Amino acid sequence: MFHKVLVATDGSENAKKAIAYAMNLLRHNQDAKVTLINAFHIPPVGPEPATHWRMAEVFQEYSQSVLDNAAEMFEKENLPVTRVSVEGDPGQAVCRYAREHGYDHIVIGATGHGQLGALLFGSVARKIIQLAPCPVIIIR
């Protein structure tokens, strides 16, 4: 049974399918808690701390907008949802958050915005499958 579900989103079409899946779970188990998570990684930008802080602010704002857009899907149907933005390597950050907060399932789209990056570096979904402390549902 699903009690605490963490839905990783990057705003992609597959992420929206994962959100729809989680919404359906919530409709069938109203005691479940769903949290949307967006993880962002700030690339190194050089020796100037001010540049890093500006980059961090931009990434954080974008992460919040991704979460706000995803939460709108729940709000349109009066379904409760929590949102959280975390910094770090997306696969590791999602799994760390799931572990630290006792989630029993992670839901993620099969591919997101980083398809070219997935070919070169490995996909976030693949990393989550490898590191997750709980079952992972991959939505195509």
Alpha-carbon torsion (113, 123, 140, 25), positive or negative: negative
- How many CB atoms lie under 10 A from the CB of residue 19? 25
Q: What is the pTM of this model?
A: 0.89
Burial class (CB in 10 A: 0-12, 13-18, 19+), 40: buried
Tens digits of residue pLDDT in 67-84:
999 999 999 999 999 999
DSSP code for 102: T
**Confidence (pLDDT) at 120:** 41
Domain count, the chain: 1
Alpha-carbon torsion (133, 134, 135, 137), positive or negative: negative
- Tokens standing for 56? 């961090």
- Give residue 102's domain range: 4-139
CATH, residue 103: 3.40.50.620
Instruction: Tell me the average pLDDT of the chain.
Output: 89
